[in-house]
Amino acid sequence: MGIAHTKWVGSIRVSETPLFSEYNTKKYVLIGEDYPVSEDLKAKGVMGQILREQKVKSAFELPWDGEIATGKRLIRGRSWSGEGKITFVEVSLDDGKTWSKVSLREPNITKAWVRWDLEWDARPGRYGLLARATDDQDNTQPDKIPFNEEGYSHWAVVTHPIKVV
């Protein structure tokens, strides 16, 4: 079972009914009041909603809380969705006050990462960069997600701190 990346496969079992293991009943599950579990699954030891597809996510290809030089910069990032193909990505360079669509790069394949670019004339200062993607199933990254005890599968927009020097 993999969360964001394929892991080593030790064996494959085919079943017409769901298979339950420690990984999909106790470990990789969403636990919290906003993630209800049916009574029949609770009886099988399932502690939270079982993770299935990746939600829409985005990330900048920049050092976290790093520094970049002032001037014209090509900012790059990646977005992906486990439920569809990314149709557009918006970036905010001012903590979410304004948003601009970025250029998607090829290939842009369903349920895969797509790279994107944004030209930025960076001025000195500290910035909180934001990126949010939308896929062809109309799934868009939200500003917030409901709390889950294990913290898995965080798909909300994340502020990426960067300093321009």
112-134 mean pLDDT: 97
Residue 77 pLDDT more than 60? yes
pLDDT tens figures, 25-54: 888 889 999 999 999 989 988 998 888 888
Q: How many CA atoms lie within 13 A of 41 on its CB side?
A: 18
Write down the pLDDT at residue 5.
Answer: 59
Supply the mean pLDDT for the chain.
91
Which domains are present in the chain?
17-52 (no CATH), 57-164 (2.60.40.650)
Q: 80 pLDDT exceeds 50?
A: yes
- 3-state DSSP assignment of residue 35: coil
Tokens 């896929």 locate to 135
Helix, coil or strand: residue 94: coil
What's the rounded mean pLDDT across residues 153-165? 95
d(CA 154, CA 135): 17
| Res. 129: pLDDT tops 70 | yes
Q: Is the pLDDT of residue 8 over 80?
A: no
d(CA 36, CA 152): 15
- Could you give phi then psi for residue 160, rounded to 5 degrees? -100, 110
Q: Which residues, other chains included, contact 84 with Cβ-Cβ below 8 Å and sequence gap of 6+?
A: 110, 111, 135, 136, 137, 139
Q: How far apart are CA 101 and CA 97, in angstroms?
A: 14
Across-strand partners of 37? none
pLDDT at 1: 43
Q: Which of 13-22, 132-141, 153-162 has the lowest average pLDDT?
A: 13-22
